[in-house]
C-alpha cells in the first residue's frame, strides 16, 4: 500500500445563501432537455461526461458517472419546498403473484422519458411530464425464485445506453431492451447453477463496451462473481470470481491464485463462501476502471468457514477492475476475516476532493462496518477512514497498513458478544448522496448493536439461510442483558446524517422514528430529500438539517429519490413501496403497518396536489383454530422449521404485519390445502414455490402443530380481550 496521507483538521461546510440558491435557479432557467432530436435512450460516453451541462437529465441511477445523487437543479429550493405536491403517480403492480413487492430502485430520465425498474426486473417507460406509459416490459420469470431471495423479488436499478435499456431479472437473466419499443434485443442467462439460491437484484453497470452484472444469495451458500457481456450481442467477455473455489480444482483467473493463501486449504468450499456482488457498481470513463463492492462471507464465523483463519480475499472488499480484460487493478478489504455480515456492497461515489491542498480523484464508501472510507480511485490508497456511527468490532483503522485493529471483545467464538454495528450495518444498501459543491455526504445511517453467539457445529444446508451463528436484535433476552451494560445505547436508532468525508466528522443528524428509511438526494436548491419508513417524503435544509416540508404518502420508502426537468418544470420522483430487509415485515410505526403496501412511483412538482393514500391496513382477526391437539415435541420441531424455511417471508408477529399471509391465522380452506401448497406448489403461480425438495410430510406435520399452537394462543388472547366486538383492541 502507498504511504497514506496524514489526517487533517476539519473544514467547515460550504453554506449556500438564499441569494445563491435563487441565482442558481435563475441560471438554470434555460436548462431543459438539450437541443435537437435524440433517438430514444441516447446516452453515451460524451454525454455522460457532460452531465452537469444539461442538469435536466438523470442519466444513471446516481445521475452522473460518479453516481453522486447530486443535482444542479435549483428551481425547487429552501424558499419554496413547502409548495411541492403530487404531479402524477404510476402504480407498480407486479404481473407475478398477488403481493405488492417492494420498490427499491431509482428511475432514470433521458430526453423526457423515464425508465423505471420494478419487481422481478420489469421495466416501465413513461412520459416524464405526464406519467403516460410508453411501453412496459415484464419478463417471464420463474415464480419459484421468490423463495430463494432474502428480501423479495426486488430490483435496484437499470442502465440506459446508446438506445438500449439493460436490466437484470430476479431469476438471473440479463436483458437488453430497445429503448424506443421495449422489445427484447438479446437475453442471456447469468447463473452458473440454477439448483443454487442465486438471485439477481442489483443494477447492471456499463463499463466501456461491456455491461456487467453480479448476483445475490450470499446468505444461502453461493459463490460470488460478476460477468461482463458485449453490449451489442450479449456475448460473454469475462467472469471475475470474488472468492476462490477449491484449489484442488484449479483457478479460473490469476487473482484467485493470489487470494488462495488467505484461505484455509480445508475451507467450506461446498458452501460457495459468499462474496456476492448485489449492490451498486460504478465506472470511471476517464481512468477506465470498474469499481465493485463485494458482500459478506458464508458461513459468517471464520472458524466454520476457514478454520485456520486468514484474510479471506476478496470478501467485503472494494475491487477496481479493468473492464477490457477483467483483470484486477487494485483492491481494498474493509474487514479482513469478517464474521459480522459487514458487506461492502453499499453504493460507491466517484468525485474529487481537496486533501492537504491537493485535488484528489477519490472513491467514497460508507459500508455496513460503520467507517467512511476515502480511497484514491486510481491506486486504492487509503486517504481517510473514520467511523460515522458507534463501532466496537475494531479499535480503529491503522492508517499505515489500512487494516482494522482487532478488538477481542467482539469475537464471539467462545462466548456471546454484543457488537456494534449490527448486521444491518451503520449504512445499508439505501444509497447515500454527495454534494461536490460543499463536499458533504448525506447518509441514511443507523446505530444498533447485535448479540452474536456461535453454533458449535456448522453443516451446509443448500438453499437455506443458515450461516453458522445465532444472533439477536435489541432488545436482548434477559439472560444476556448484562452483556450490554456499560455500552452505548444498543438502539435501534436510525437517522439522516450529514458527514464531511475529508475532515471525518459529523455536521448534523436528524433522528428517524422507524427503521429502514430510504436513500437520499441532494440538490443545488440546498435541499436533502429522503423518504421514510413512516410514509413521508421529507425535505431538509442541506446546511443545517432543518426539516422544511413533509409529504404524507401512506407508503414507506426505501429507495433513493431523484430529480429532473421537462419544459421548464422541475420534478422530484421516488419509488414508494416497503419491501422489507428480510421479507416483507412491517414494524409497528411504519406506513405499511397502517396502510396496504401498494407499490407506487410518485412524482412531485411545485404547486402539485395531494397524494392519494392507499387503503387502510386491516389487521386480521384470528379464526377458531383447527381441531388438533398440538404435540409439544412437534411444536418445538415445527418452530425450528418455521424459523429456517418460512419466517423469512411469513414473519408476522405481535409487533409486525407482513405482506405475505399470516400463517398463524389460516382459515379452514388454507389448512385443508396446506400440504399441497407447501410440498406440491399449488400456489406457485402466486410466488409461493414448492418446498417438496427441502421438507418432508413429517416436517409439514410439525409445522401444522406449531402453527396450530400459535393460532390457539392468539385466539385465546383475542377472545379474552373480547376484541371481536366494536371498540375492541383490533377495532380501528
In order, the DSSP letters of 238-265 are EEEESS---GGG--SSHHHHHHGGGS-T
Select from 550, 553, 556, 474 the least CA-distant residue to 510.
Answer: 550
Percent of the chain with pLDDT over 70: 89
Q: Read off the C-alpha cell for 467.
A: 450461516
- Check: CB of residue 349 under 8 Å from CB of residue 66: yes
Q: Read off the C-alpha cell for 18.
A: 438564499
For 594, half-sphere exposure in the C-beta direction (CA atoms, 13 angstrom radius) is: 13
Provide the 3-class DSSP secondary structure of residue 480: helix
Fold classified for 45-606: Methanol Dehydrogenase; Chain A (2.140.10)
For 488, half-sphere exposure in the C-beta direction (CA atoms, 13 angstrom radius) is: 13
Provide the 3-class DSSP secondary structure of residue 211: strand
The 10s digit of each residue's pLDDT in 295-324 is 999 999 999 999 999 999 999 999 999 999
What secondary structure, in 3-state letters, does 149-172 show?
Answer: CCCCCCCCCCEEECCEEEEECCCC
Type and span of the H or E element at 185: strand 184-189
Select from 192, 149, 199, 144 the least CA-distant residue to 169.
Answer: 199
**Catalytic hit among 341, 376, 500, 538:** 341
- Give CA 612 to chain center in angstroms: 27
In 368-377, which positions are buried (b, 16+ CB within 10 angstroms) versus exposed (e)? bbbbbbbbbb
Strands 520-523 and 70-71: parallel
Q: d(Cα 31, Cα 642) in Å, to the nearest integer?
A: 56
Q: d(Cα 188, Cα 191) in Å, to the nearest integer?
A: 9
Residues of the chain with CATH 1.10.760.10: 632-721
- Check: CB of residue 434 under 8 Å from CB of residue 441: yes
Q: d(Cα 368, Cα 435) in Å, to the nearest integer?
A: 21
Contact partners, residue 698, CB within 8 Å, separation at least 6: none
Strands, E assignment, 562-672: 562-566, 569-576, 585-587, 600-606, 656-658
Counting every residue written for the chain, the total comes to: 732
Q: d(Cα 344, Cα 351) in Å, to the nearest integer?
A: 18
- Check: CB of residue 49 under 8 Å from CB of residue 65: yes
341 catalytic residue (yes or no): yes
Residue 710 has φ and ψ, to the nearest 5°, of -65, -40
**Predicted pLDDT of residue 87:** 98
**Predicted pLDDT of residue 654:** 62
- Check: CB of residue 84 under 8 Å from CB of residue 608: yes
Provide the 3-class DSSP secondary structure of residue 281: coil
What secondary structure, in 3-state letters, does 105-161 show?
Answer: CCCEEECCEEEEECHHHCEEEEECCCCCEEEEECCCCCHHHHHHCCCCCCCCCCEEE
Q: d(Cα 446, Cα 396) in Å, to the nearest integer?
A: 19
- Give CA 157 to chain center in angstroms: 11
Select from 540, 541, 543, 547 the least CA-distant residue to 507.
Answer: 543
Type and span of the H or E element at 582: none
Q: d(Cα 654, Cα 569) in Å, to the nearest integer?
A: 46
Which pTM value belongs to this model? 0.89
For 625, half-sphere exposure in the C-beta direction (CA atoms, 13 angstrom radius) is: 22
Type and span of the H or E element at 529: strand 527-531
CATH of 632-721, one of 3.50.50.60, 1.10.760.10, 3.40.50.1820, 1.10.1240.10: 1.10.760.10
Strand order in the sheet with 123-127: 108-110, 113-117, 123-127, 133-137
Select from 110, 124, 69 the least CA-distant residue to 559.
Answer: 69
Q: Read off the C-alpha cell for 624.
A: 377458531
Alpha carbon dihedral 522, 524, 527, 531, in 10-degree steps, equals: -40
**Predicted pLDDT of residue 138:** 94
The stretches in the chain having pLDDT less than 50 are 1-35, 580-583, 723-732
Residues of the chain with CATH 2.140.10.10: 45-606
The 10s digit of each residue's pLDDT in 688-717 is 778 888 889 999 999 999 999 989 998 888
Provide the 3-class DSSP secondary structure of residue 591: helix
Amino acid at each position: 500500500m502507498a504511504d497514506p496521507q496524514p489526517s487533517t483538521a476539519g473544514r467547515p461546510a460550504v453554506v449556500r445563501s438564499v441569494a445563491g440558491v435563487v441565482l442558481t435557479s435563475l441560471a438554470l432557467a434555460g436548462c431543459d432537455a438539450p437541443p435537437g432530436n435524440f433517438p430514444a435512450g441516447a446516452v453515451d460516453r460524451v454525454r455522460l461526461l457532460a452531465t452537469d451541462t444539461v442538469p435536466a437529465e438523470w442519466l444513471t441511477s446516481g445521475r452522473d458517472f460518479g453516481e453522486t445523487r447530486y443535482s444542479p437543479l435549483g428551481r425547487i429550493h429552501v424558499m419554496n419546498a413547502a409548495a411541492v405536491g403530487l404531479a402524477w403517480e404510476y402504480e407498480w403492480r407486479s404481473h407475478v403473484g398477488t403481493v405488492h413487492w417492494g420498490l427499491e430502485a431509482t428511475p432514470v430520465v433521458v430526453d423526457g422519458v423515464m425508465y423505471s425498474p420494478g419487481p422481478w426486473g420489469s421495466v416501465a417507460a413513461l412520459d416524464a411530464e405526464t406519467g403516460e406509459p410508453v411501453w412496459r416490459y415484464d419478463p417471464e420469470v420463474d415464480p419459484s425464485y421468490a423463495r430463494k431471495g432474502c428480501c423479495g423479488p426486488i430490483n435496484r436499478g437499470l442502465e440506459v445506453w446508446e438506445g438500449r435499456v439493460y436490466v437484470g431479472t430476479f431469476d438471473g437473466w440479463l436483458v437488453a431492451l430497445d429503448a424506443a419499443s421495449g422489445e427484447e434485443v438479446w437475453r442471456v442467462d447469468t447463473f452458473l447453477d440454477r439448483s443454487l439460491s442465486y438471485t439477481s437484484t442489483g443494477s447492471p453497470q456499463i463499463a466501456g463496451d461491456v455491461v456487467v452484472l453480479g448476483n445475490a444469495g450470499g446468505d444461502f451458500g453461493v459463490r460470488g462473481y460478476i460477468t461482463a457481456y458485449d453490449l451489442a450481442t450479449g456475448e460473454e467477455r469475462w467472469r471475475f470470481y470474488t472468492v476462490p473455489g477449491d484449489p484442488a480444482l484449479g483457478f479460473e483467473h490469476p487473482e484467485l491464485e493470489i487470494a488462495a493463501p488467505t484461505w484455509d486449504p480445508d475451507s467450506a468450499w461446498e458452501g460457495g463462501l459468499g462474496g456476492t456482488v448485489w449492490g451498486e457498481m460504478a465506472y470511471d470513463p476517464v481512468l477506465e476502471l470498474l469499481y465493485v463492492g463485494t458482500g459478506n462471507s458464508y458461513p459468517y464465523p471464520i472458524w466454520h468457514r476457514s478454520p485456520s483463519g486468514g484474510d479471506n480475499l476478496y470478501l467485503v472488499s472494494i475491487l477496481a477492475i479493468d473492464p477490457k480484460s477483467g483483470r484486477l487493478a487494485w483492491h481494498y478489504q474493509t474487514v479482513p476475516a469478517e464474521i459480522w455480515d459487514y458487506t461492502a456492497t453499499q453504493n460507491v461515489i466517484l468525485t474529487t476532493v481537496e486533501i492537504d491542498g491537493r485535488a484528489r480523484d477519490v472513491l467514497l464508501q460508507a459500508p455496513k462496518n460503520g467507517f467512511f472510507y476515502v480511497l484514491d480511485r486510481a491506486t486504492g490508497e487509503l486517504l481517510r477512514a473514520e467511523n460515522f456511527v458507534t463501532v466496537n468490532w475494531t479499535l480503529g483503522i491503522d492508517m499505515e497498513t489500512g487494516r482494522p485493529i482487532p478488538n477481542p471483545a467482539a469475537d464471539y467464538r467462545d462466548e456471546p458478544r454484543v457488537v456494534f454495528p449490527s448486521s444491518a450495518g451503520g449504512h445499508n444498501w439505501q444509497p447515500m448522496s454527495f454534494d461536490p459543491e460543499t463536499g458533504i455526504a448525506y447518509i441514511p445511517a443507523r446505530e444498533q448493536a447485535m448479540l452474536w453467539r456461535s453454533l458449535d457445529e456448522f453443516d451446509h444446508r443448500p438453499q437455506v439461510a443458515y450461516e453458522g451463528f445465532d444472533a439477536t436484535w435489541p432488545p436482548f433476552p434477559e439472560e444476556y442483558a448484562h452483556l450490554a451494560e456499560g455500552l452505548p445505547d444498543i438502539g435501534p436508532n436510525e437517522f439522516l446524517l450529514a458527514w464531511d468525508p475529508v475532515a471525518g466528522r459529523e455536521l448534523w443528524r436528524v433522528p428517524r422514528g422507524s427503521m429502514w428509511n430510504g436513500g437520499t438526494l441532494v440538490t443545488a436548491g440546498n435541499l436533502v430529500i429522503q423518504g421514510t419508513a413512516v410514509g413521508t417524503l421529507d425535505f431538509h435544509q442541506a446546511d443545517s438539517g432543518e426539516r422544511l416540508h413533509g409529504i404524507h404518502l401512506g407508503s414507506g420508502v426505501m429507495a433513493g429519490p431523484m430529480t429532473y426537468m421537462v419544459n421548464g418544470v422541475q420534478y422530484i420522483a421516488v419509488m414508494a413501496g416497503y419491501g422489507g430487509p428480510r421479507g416483507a415485515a412491517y414494524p409497528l410505526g411504519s406506513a405499511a403497518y397502517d396502510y396496504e403496501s401498494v407499490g407506487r412511483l410518485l412524482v412531485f412538482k411545485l404547486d402539485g396536489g395531494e397524494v392519494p393514500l392507499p387503503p387502510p391496513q386491516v389487521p386480521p382477526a384470528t379464526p377458531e383454530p383447527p381441531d388438533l391437539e398440538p404435540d409439544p415435541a412437534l411444536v418445538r420441531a415445527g418452530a425450528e422449521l418455521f424459523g429456517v424455511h418460512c419466517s423469512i417471508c411469513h414473519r408476522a408477529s405481535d409487533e409486525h404485519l407482513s405482506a405475505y399471509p399470516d400463517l398463524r391465522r389460516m382459515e379452514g380452506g388454507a389448512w385443508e390445502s396446506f400440504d399441497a401448497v407447501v410440498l406440491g406448489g399449488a400456489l406457485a403461480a402466486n410466488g409461493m414455490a414448492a418446498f417438496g425438495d427441502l421438507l418432508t410430510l413429517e416436517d409439514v406435520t410439525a409445522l401444522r402443530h406449531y402453527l396450530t399452537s400459535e393460532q390457539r394462543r392468539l385466539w385465546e388472547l383475542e377472545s379474552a380481550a373480547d376484541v371481536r366486538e366494536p371498540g375492541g383492541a383490533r377495532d380501528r
